[in-house]
Amino acid sequence: MGAVAVVEDEVRELVRRRGLDPVADPQAVRRLVDEVVADYDERSLSGSLPPLADLAGAARHVYDAVAGFGPLQKFLDDPTVEEVWVNEPTRVFVARRGVPELTTTILTAEQVRDLVEKMLKFSGRRVDLSTPFVDAMLPDGSRLHVAIPDITREHWSVNIRKFVVRATHLEDLVQLGTLSAQAAEFLDAAVASGLNVLVAGGTQAGKTTLLNCLSAAIPSRERVITCEEVFELKPPVPDVVAMQCRQPNLEGGGEIKLRRLVKEALRMRPSRIIVGEVRQEESLDLLIALNSGLPGMCTIHANSAREAVTKMCTLPLLAGENVGHGFVVPTVASCIDVVVHVATDREGRRRVREVVAVPGRVEGDVVEVADLFVERGERLVRADGWPPHTERFERAGYDLQRILGARAAA
């Protein structure tokens, strides 16, 4: 057994004896690791034990193994890494600024299973043959997704999407080049004025980050209810209730789906509702909530703003045969006010590609949209469109003519 393995065994034994919880008290575990490493180094001077070549490296390795997530911890600690995924034990990938790369990390199948079990311990969720998929949150806020055989071909598939906070306000997105200053000012005013905003884009396009930044424009006096699959949203308002879905228990009961959360949110005296992402029939419940005059925001997977509107006209049909286009299409037209489409370019940079308004008109079962901002080259510029509910901007104290009056030259 190598020197580092001996130290790791000693630390684990002391953790058990002292009843330490690595998740609840990581600092105590870190101090214990430093003590054991120093003690081992002193004992190794007598020649009875193999020496530690790198004390700091050994301490970091042992701490990651005991209190962290082993060989993957270095990626979780690296601020340049946005995502980590394991296709098989010998193929561990990371993404930096949206660009994937294969790492030199080699795991065993047993290590992968042990790491997943350790990650799920924090959330209380599970993965097994009866529940081959799991979504969970790690202690640092990162989102974990796991799929196991026989859903996957042979190996456990693990994906960790880190909660990398680079922006908390729309002004931050302007600094990052994601959004133009004029578009940011408009979106800030639109949210504060109570317009309903739909954020569209692909996977890892930055939808949740943009939604979080939009939520920073919500007036502090409002009561906000968030509904998500896994906690990711953090509206910076004092009166907020966050809810997430729940998996079924071992008997198959107790599952709480997103649709239930949206319904329950309406009973909690909300001033505004935010849904992390609509994928299925919960879109109907969100539309009903918005149709009652409750302001809201959500995200949706779509390749453009127009496709996002079309998808919002289709998803509610999954709620049942009694739900038809005759109800859904005009409801979408009257409920959704602004759609923001964000995407990732070839270099991995996230950019808002377009901002469109939904004036509320329907022509032949097609919801009309009007371009507010469009991308030309790498610039987001003002188009000809105009948002609905201009009176709401006026009541909120915003001069919409000043914000949108200047139109960029073609």
Instruction: Indicate whether 22 belongs to any domain.
Output: yes
Looking at the structure, tell me whether residues 240 and 384 fall in a common domain. Answer: yes
Interatomic CA distance for residues 128 and 140, integer angstroms? 24
What predicted TM-score, i.e. pTM, was given to this entire model?
0.83
Looking at the structure, tell me whether residues 146 and 256 fall in a common domain. Answer: no
Looking at the structure, tell me whether residues 120 and 249 fall in a common domain. Answer: no
Helices (H), 177-265: 181-192, 207-215, 258-265
Looking at the structure, tell me whether residues 128 and 247 fall in a common domain. Answer: no
Looking at the structure, tell me whether residues 79 and 52 fall in a common domain. Answer: no
Averaged over successive runs of 10 residues, the pLDDT of the chain (410 residues) comes to: 84 89 85 91 84 89 90 92 95 90 95 92 82 87 91 94 83 93 96 97 90 96 95 93 87 86 94 94 93 93 96 92 89 96 86 96 92 92 94 95 68
Looking at the structure, tell me whether residues 322 and 188 fall in a common domain. Answer: yes
pLDDT computed for residue 406 by the predictor: 53
Instruction: Indicate whether 189 belongs to any domain.
Output: yes
Show which of 68, 102, 120 is a domain's final residue. Answer: 68
pLDDT computed for residue 1 by the predictor: 54
CA-closest candidate to residue 135, choices 21, 262, 228, 260: 228
Q: Which residues pair with 64 in a beta bridge?
A: none
Instruction: Indicate whether 98 belongs to any domain.
Output: yes
Looking at the structure, tell me whether residues 157 and 174 fall in a common domain. Answer: no
pLDDT computed for residue 214 by the predictor: 97
Looking at the structure, tell me whether residues 138 and 209 fall in a common domain. Answer: no
Looking at the structure, tell me whether residues 215 and 132 fall in a common domain. Answer: no
**Pair 156, 109: CB distance under 8 Å:** yes
Domain range for residue 96? 73-161
Q: Domain total for the chain?
A: 3
Looking at the structure, tell me whether residues 131 and 276 fall in a common domain. Answer: no
pLDDT computed for residue 410 by the predictor: 37
Looking at the structure, tell me whether residues 238 and 321 fall in a common domain. Answer: yes
**Pair 193, 392: CB distance under 8 Å:** yes
Amino acid identity of residue 197, one-letter, is: V
Interatomic CA distance for residues 124 and 121, integer angstroms? 5
Cα–Cα distance list, 1 to 4, 9, 49 (Å): 8, 10, 10
Looking at the structure, tell me whether residues 154 and 225 fall in a common domain. Answer: no
CA-closest candidate to residue 206, choices 345, 357, 383: 345
